[in-house]
Amino acid sequence: MHLKDKVALVTGAAQGIGQAFVEALLEKGCKVALVDLNADVGKASKDAFDKQYDPQRTLFIPCDVSNEEKLKDAFKNTIQHFGNLDILINNAGVNDEKNWENTVQINLISVIRGTYIGLEYMKIENGGNGGAIINTASLAGLWPVAYQPVYSASKHGVIGFTRSVAMAATAKNYGVRINTICPGFVNTPILQTAFKEEKMGLYYSFKEEIKDKMQFYGILEPSLIAEGLIKLLEDDSLNGEVMKITKQGINFHEYCPLP
Ligand code: NAD
């Protein structure tokens, strides 16, 4: 896909990995709707982008992705404002083992819902132009994590859903490619939640092990994850792929062929 002038909607765009995604998309000439729960940080982020890029190319939409009506409105506003939708990045996520239902709701249910709403607008059979959807998972979606069982389950769910719906997209000629991106530890505010009792609950006592793991695996910069995103968007041959990003670089996870 040539990215110039394409319209993208990014959830969890106010900070961290989502913000790096927005920057990379703007660099490529896209127009971007920044969707995030945190209105203060979201507006500050748009203001910062406005100093570097034409303010007409970004739109901040305050929205809790776990609110179905608000999420639908975010898509409607994006399309009303920019005219269409080519790229959807379901990236908003939390680490909350204490209120774990929240983690399933935001990391998995809202990603599924976002994908379905996006497909309604993008599918060729509905008169859309096709496009690409990227769902942010994690390495915790490929392997078990002793201190984050629900986060890990939510991300396994994102990978299973995305690979499956990507097969449906091919079988039914949606014209939409759907892939996941799985980073290791990334230098964003979510990392600090691993050391907070109110987020880790039962698993707070693992804090020293978590520190050791971060040291062992290393902490990546959000710009590297954005590099992976651009690869997934620009290469039209990629569908149903699981991109892993670690200090070893950007690689694809290999699965055994389907039985
Ligand atoms: P972050 O906490 O810095 O950013 C997450 C953003 O999502 C925030 O701006 C937050 O306001 C927003 N958000 C949270 N709940 C929301 C909701 N209900 N509705 C709308 N927006 C909401 O974290 P990040 O590291 O940038 O995380 C982005 C994604 O990457 C998440 O899905 C996370 O699970 C995943 N991830 C992060 C890491 C890491 O180490 N940082 C590693 C692998 C995967």
Q: What is the pLDDT of residues 106-148, one digit of tens each?
A: 999 999 999 999 999 999 999 999 999 999 999 999 999 999 9
Tell me the pLDDT tens digit for each residue of 69-107.
999 999 999 999 999 999 999 999 999 999 999 999 999
Instruction: Report pLDDT digits (tens) over 155-181.
Output: 999 999 999 999 999 999 999 999 999
Pocket-forming residues, ligand 1, beta carbon under 6 Å:
11-12, 14-18, 36-38, 63-66, 91-94, 106, 136, 138, 183, 185-186, 188-191
Instruction: Tell me whether residue 253 is exposed, middle or buried, using C-beta atoms within 10 angstroms of its C-beta: 0 to 12, 13 to 18, 19 or more.
Output: middle
Is this structure's pTM higher than 0.90? yes
Cα-based distances in Å from 192 to 26, 31, 116, 196: 28, 31, 31, 7
Q: What is the pLDDT of residue 257?
A: 79
Q: Look at residues 17, 19, 65 and name the one whose alpha carbon lies nearest to residue 42.
A: 19
pLDDT band for position 256 (cuts 50, 70, 90)? confident
> Which ligand 1 atom is nearest residue 137's CA?
44
- At residue 75, the pLDDT reads 98
**Residue 112 near residue 161 (C-beta atoms within 8 A):** yes
Give the active site residue among 121, 151, 174, 203.
151
